[in-house]
Amino acid sequence: MKKVSCLLCISLFTTIACNDSNILESIPPVDKPNPPISGNVTNKVKYRPSNYMMWDNWCIKNNDEVHLFHLQGVINGINYDYDTNLRGFGHAVSSDLLHWNEKSEVLSLYGKELPYEADFRYSGCTVEYKGKYYMFYTMRKWAGERIGVAMSDDLYTWTEYEGNPVIVPDARWFITYEHDSASPNIDRWDRVDCRDMIVVKDNKSDGFYGYFVSSSDILGFTSPTSVIGVAYSTDLLHWEQHGIAYLPTGVSVPEMIDVFEYDDTWYMTLTTAKDNGNLLAFSDPYITRGTIYATSQSPEGPFVEDYKDNVLLGGQINSGYSMRTIDYQNKKRLMYVDVNNGISVLSLPKTIGKNSEGRLRAFYAADLLTSLRKSEITPQIHSLPSNSFGWPTYGGRWTTQNDVFQCETDPNSWQAVLFEGGLNNIEMSFMIKNWDCNSFGIVFANKVEQTSLNDLSHILVIEPEKNRIYLTDHAWDFQNCRSYKFSKDMEYKFRCILMENVLELYINDELVFNSGLYNSGNYLPGLFANNGNLSVYDLDIFALEE
């Protein structure tokens, strides 16, 4: 650790030159197809581009508008070869973080011959400085990456900086193109990482901090692993690298960085997954992909995780990931990509905050999201579906008295109740003050005259005994899962949002679960209890905008 601390604190700076040679420069170029040209498309809530899927995304505010830029993935039969696709960044504009107008893509590589770029550009960020906008992005050529920048006066038309690249990894800390790179493994390491730039204003001077993913051998692992470097600039064009701001504890590939100050603490968020190399990356054992966070008292780092609690959001392959924050209406918001079997959309905005234990979390943005409510549905019992697929068996009864819904089940049995509705997008909230059952939760059922078990399309199980929440269906197969620590003597307000093909659960307005699913629409919302008694208070149901 002395070696690491020393390197983190090195104060010598290096200005990166732009004349390095690519280690795979000899691969010949390939003819490129023409891209589709996006028009001006008005999207509903939960934006997705018209011709592509999206993933990494970032925003910048310009007066009353927010401009979204994002990576575009292949979808809808547009079959561009991955290695030769020169598509640019998707672009959309919003006035409320909810509704987005899709614009033409920006910064494509079609028709351009650039010495350090052959593949579509990867993630970066956009910042404003002295009336001009700067778009940082990942320049990619075969196995080599560098950081480039383009400039614009209006966020629509961009010109690449003639001095690109502005950052190439410094050999004192990172794997780079030089043969005297800081790695004895350079002969068997065929790539140079330098990507996912995020730029943050130095609130104590006129400069900027830049953070980027690179690779290093500093930890002495079997092979180089990804780390986060930090650089500094006073003009956004010339950068001095200061070393490593974040080190993983094992071989890992953190991506899509964000860095911000909140409540006198500096936070770094990173997207990662178990298939990124580290099976112990998450404090929640159920998570396989998500966003973790680390903290520091200085923007220079080092940023360090609390491995007892390092998860900001995540779940399994169908959960949200790849997030960035934006200051909007005097609050720090976050947005990410919601995924449903590869079909990705922009998430609903959340508000950054801390829970009762002081942990960084995403919270329900009431000042924004309540505008999606179109009507309130008075909770009235529609039916009690059977709990067996083969026979009309019932595991208990639901009753209502003074607006309190109560369930009493038979031993080791469960019973659901469905309310009037028939809705496509739904918000349902309720209070649980105590419970005397093994589990309870939320159901969404197909709207038919005689509902049965097979009509329960989605069941969200809240299981306090095992401190977890998971998604299933009428067959009770174990699906997407998250940990949550429950306490018997606390009151809990649950809020569930089903918006298109994404389900979210908030507990006391903290986002604790999200998952993609198939939404057939026209659902009856409902509740269930398992093996015991349950009382449900303050039940509200809203039809949301479609």
Rounded distance between C-alpha atoms, residue 406 and residue 411, angstroms: 16
pLDDT at 487: 93
Rounded distance between C-alpha atoms, residue 463 and residue 442, angstroms: 12
Residue carrying structure tokens 């093994």: 438
Burial class of residue 6 (count of CB atoms within 10 Å of its CB; 0-12, 13-18, 19+) = exposed
Rounded distance between C-alpha atoms, residue 534 and residue 430, angstroms: 12
Q: Is the peptide bond before 285 cis (omega within 30 degrees of 0)?
A: no
22 in Cβ contact with 144 (< 8 Å): yes
How many other C-beta atoms can be found within 10 angstroms of the C-beta atom of residue 468? Answer: 20
**pTM of this prediction?**
0.90
Q: What is the b/e burial string over 157-171, where b = at least 16 CB atoms within 10 angstroms of the residue's CB?
A: ebebbeebbbbbbbb
Q: Which neighbouring-strand residues pair with 166?
A: none
pLDDT at 25: 33
- Taking phi over 0 as left and psi of -120 to 50 as alpha, with beta for the rest, 35 belongs to beta
- Average pLDDT over all residues of the chain: 88
pLDDT at 110: 87
pLDDT at 42: 79
pLDDT at 341: 63
Q: Which of the 8 DSSP states describes residue 349?
A: P
pLDDT at 24: 32
Diameter of the chain measured on Cα atoms: 77
Residues of the chain with pLDDT under 70: 1-40, 75-84, 179-190, 341-342
Report pLDDT digits (tens) over 380-392. 999 999 999 888 8
pLDDT at 467: 97
pLDDT at 292: 96
Rounded distance between C-alpha atoms, residue 62 and residue 127, angstroms: 10
pLDDT at 39: 55
pLDDT at 52: 81
